[in-house]
Amino acid sequence: MAELVRAFVAVRLPGHVADELENFLAELRPLANIRWVRREQFHITLKFLGEVAPSVIEQVKDALEPMKYFDPFVIELDHIGAFPNLASPRVLWLGGERGAAELGRLARKVDDVLNEEAGLEREAKKFRAHMTLARLKESRLPEELVRRLGEVPDFSFECGELVLMRSQLTPRGPIYSQLL
């Protein structure tokens, strides 16, 4: 049996925006011993596929190819939040209002196309446009970090392409490679 492929559909940050975000996070990293996302992992997930057969990946590629490029829109990431909340965070994320509705429509379109053409289950949860910044084991953040989280610069970029990514889990964290 062929090895399953762990994959997701996403929007990636352009290099210059990833550089700016990396510089901002470099200032935050020393403030807390948490698992920060590395620069090469910066993305906004539109649909997580989980572990699927290589044949399904080929169906997904075929289904996504016609919609890989789309009319561009601006995404603005300008505040940090947490799941479930900042009082007891498990995941820190970067989000914003500008572009969120467009990302939501794109995520629904991806969900519909992959359900119809690749037989994948529809998302049960409502889409929430965000980019994961860090994962926490402790549910408390140091005060200095909380203060700095309120001083987020505006990370804006034009988005007009989606990607299909493979995620290989390793002890040092996931390794991503682009499939489409």
Which sequence positions are flagged as catalytic?
Answer: 43, 130
Find the radius of gyration of the CA atoms of the chain: 17
**Residue 15 to residues 54, 79, 145, Cα–Cα distance (Å):** 29, 20, 25
Q: How far apart are CA 12 and CA 45, in angstroms?
A: 9
Q: Are 46 and 110 in contact (CB under 8 A)?
A: yes
What is the CB neighbour count within 10 angstroms for residue 115?
15
Question: Containing H/E element for 111?
Answer: helix 100-118
